[in-house]
Structure 1
Amino acid sequence: MEHTKPIRNAKPTVSVKPTIKLSELNLTPVYIALFVVLISIVLFFLWKKKSQKRTDLLLTGLCESGKTLLFSQLVHNTASETFTSIAENVGEYVAEGSGKSLRVIDIPGHERLRGRFFDQYKNTAKGIVFLVDSVTVQKDIRDVADYLYTVLADPSVAFVPVLITCNKQDETFAKGSSVVKPLLEKELNLVRNTRQNQLQSVDNSTSDVVFLGKQGKDFEFVHLSQSVEVIECSGRENDVKSLKRWLKSLN
């Protein structure tokens, strides 16, 4: 009878897991994710930096609408004698109670100057006060609406609050905001149609044309991307309470 000899040198079986080399991994999705995160962080800081620069209040409108007088009331709290401006006036307005300040830019109203100065400061605008002479608004409505349209349609201020201020309410024949607002909306509707027709005459394609308001509807301020309010004031009589309330909410 044969005897089986025990195998003394037999080694236990060890399972070896396959190793994966780093070079064999597909790291592309990881790199893409990291890149997206990095770009998002950069864009966020750029946006934040840009938004922090908007510290200016722009006073604009046609000549003789009372911008410089209102500027004097806000900055110096006094009604100084004013003349037609050929350069911008710059000062600081400190909101009552909060202590927060805005740099106030009084933009000349002359048609040959206002566009240049508006372009210079529009990218730092935190709010825009568009002054209307409530006494002559019906006579000057076309010029008022044409300039106001230019301001509202500028992409740089698409989300900047706008306050249309019906000034000179202390005068006998001044029109109130309830009259001025629909008057402006009606005229802005005509200006919009005119500009659209001019653009179409240059290029038959209207796909790239910026339309202010809503297609198929008459122009209304509520259709705009930015907040637009219409108030009354009198710079000469220092009746600017509504304006200061708006400025407080702006801060």
Structure 2
Amino acid sequence: MSFLFILILLIIIIIIVGIIWWKFIHKGKKLKTIMILGLCEAGKTVLYYQLKDGIFVETQSSMKENETRTIKLKKKNKDEKESEKNKEVHLLDWPGHARLRGKLDQFYPILDAIIFVLDSSDTQLETITSTAEFIYQIFTDPKMNMSPIPFLFACNKSDLYTSYSPSKLKQIIQVEFNRIKDSKTDKIIQNQKSFNFDKAKFFNQWVSISAKDGKIDSVYDFLEKQLNL
């Protein structure tokens, strides 16, 4: 038996053992599932591509979701030098069209976190009402309440001079949320005299971002702290 034959045989055995070992350590491994939600034109898909590829991509409203199983987490050290690492995560970018919201509840049981993107420069009554109704729908869903998950309210387009701060947006939406609550009969929320995001069943954090400019450090921080990525 020649030396070359033995060498080739050993290489094949090493490759096979490596594949078996890789499958063994990944067997049953559940990826963290994160969903990006929000109204149309809020910047959801721009944020999605920043997390997926670390780049700005011009996008337009779509009726189809985007998804990936790898995201790029960027972090600055004490010297302000940026490092980047790939993380295995199931990231879903859901379309903002109201007609598709009825399909969301099928995903709630598998979600580990929700990133809700808001356009911080748009505080028209119609937008605020639609946003509050969307959040109300999620917060009062029985499936969502079975196992509460963390929420990140990402107030996008902070680069615009007309943008509102996260605290101001939270206050405005909270007022509209309570108006909607008072017109409903949902037992899940009705037991609260006045809804307050700070006392909500779901952990929620409100931050300022500019997805277009890649200024999403607060999103990275949320993912690292809340999901241990």
Q: What is the TM-score with the length of structure 2 in the denominator?
A: 0.75
Q: Residue 119 of structure 1 corresponds to which residue in structure 2?
A: 105
Structure 2 unaligned segments of length 5 or more: list them.
Answer: 1-28, 75-83
Aligned position for 1:142: 129
2:197 is matched with which residue? 221
Q: Which residue of 1 is the match for residue 89 of structure 2?
A: 102
2:174 is matched with which residue: 179, 185, 188?
185
Note if 1:72 corresponds to 2:49: yes
Q: What amino acid is aligned across from residue 110 of structure 1 in structure 2? A: H
Render the CA deviation track for 1:120-150: whole Å, top value 9, x for unaligned.
3222110001111111134311111000111
Cα distance, 1:246–1:213 mapped onto 2, change above 3 Å: farther
Q: Could you report, residue by residue, the CA deviation over 1:191-223 in whole angstroms, capped at 9, with x for unpaired residues?
A: 111112xxxxxxxxxxxx42327533x210122
Q: Which of 187, 195, 210 does residue 187 from structure 2 map onto?
A: 210
Hey, which of these two has a bigger chunk of helix by percent? 2
Once residues 124 and 90 of structure 1 are traced to their aligned partners in structure 2, the CA distance between those partners, rounded to angstroms, is 15
The Cα shift of 1:111 comes to: 0.7
Distance 1:53 1:221 in 2: 30
Deviates most, 80-89 or 120-129: 120-129
Question: Equivalent residue of 2:57, what SS?
Answer: coil
Equivalent position of 1:201 in the other structure? none
Give the CA RMSD over aligned residues: 1.9
Alignment of 1:81-96 (within 5 A): 81-91=58-68, 92-96=70-74
| Cα separation, 1, equivalents of 2:101 and 2:47 | 17
Q: Return structure 1 stretches of 4+ with deviation > 4 angstroms.
A: 96-100
- Report the secondary structure of 1:173's partner residue: coil
In structure 2, the CA distance between the partners of 1:164 and 1:213, relative to structure 1 (3 Å rule), is farther
TM-score, normalised to structure 1's length? 0.69
- Which structure has the larger Rg? 1
Query: 1:3-82 residue pairs with structure 2 within 5 A?
Result: 55-82=32-59
What is the CA–CA distance in structure 2 between the aligned matches of 1:125 and 1:213, rounded to whole Å? Answer: 25
**Pair 213,57 (structure 1): closer, same or farther in 2 beyond 3 Å:** farther
Higher relative contact order (CA 8 A, sep 6+): 2
Do the aligned partners of 2:31 and 2:90 also contact (CA within 8 Å) in 1?
no
Are 1:74 and 1:93, in contact at CA under 8 Å, matched by a contact in 2? Answer: yes
User: What is residue 242 of structure 1 aligned with on the other side?
Assistant: 218
Q: 2:133 aligned with 1:155, yes or no?
A: no
Distance 2:190 2:207 in 1: 21
User: What is the rounded CA distance, in whole Å, between the counterparts of 1:100 and 1:78 in structure 2?
Assistant: 16
Contact 2:133 2:177 in 1 (8 A): yes
**Matched-pair contact (CA < 8 Å) for 1:212–1:224:** no
